[in-house]
Amino acid sequence: MTRRQALIAVIDDDPSVRESLPALLAEFGFASRTFSSAEEFLTSSDFSPTDCLILDVTMPGISGPDLQRRLKTLRPGLPVIFITAQKDARLRARLLHEGAVDCLLKPFSDVALLDALGAALPDR
């Protein structure tokens, strides 16, 4: 039996992130879909099959942390990797305490992202 490629949803209001991350994720062997907002992700057909989120902290509308809280009810156990431009140790600690796999500071290295994905999807 062939295992399907893991689907990573990238949710970030920054177009440059949405343009660059899919190519890197493909190099790592993942499928990806991009969304400019949490609302767009929640109403998409990709909501259910998503295996992991790469999620910006600060976005208009539903913020990354707000989406993380909603997902605890809607999709318990869905791994979340936060990305942020905010260098705030307390914020990072809170996000990790609330269940995030990692919180990467932009710009992050390919290795840091791959390590976070490995922790989020250990069987992939």
**What H or E segment, with its residue span, contains residue 9?**
strand 7-11
Read off the tokens for 55: 């999620």
pLDDT on residue 124:
74
pTM across the whole model: 0.94
pLDDT for 109-123, tens place per residue?
Answer: 999 999 999 999 998
- Which tens digits make up the pLDDT trace of 98-107? 999 999 999 9
pLDDT of residue 123: 83
- pLDDT 10s digits, 72-95: 999 999 999 999 998 999 999 999
All structural domains of the chain: 7-120 (3.40.50.2300)
* Average pLDDT for the chain: 94
Q: Which two tokens stand for residue 118?
A: 């490995």
C-alpha separations of 31 from 24, 34, 81 in Å: 10, 10, 16
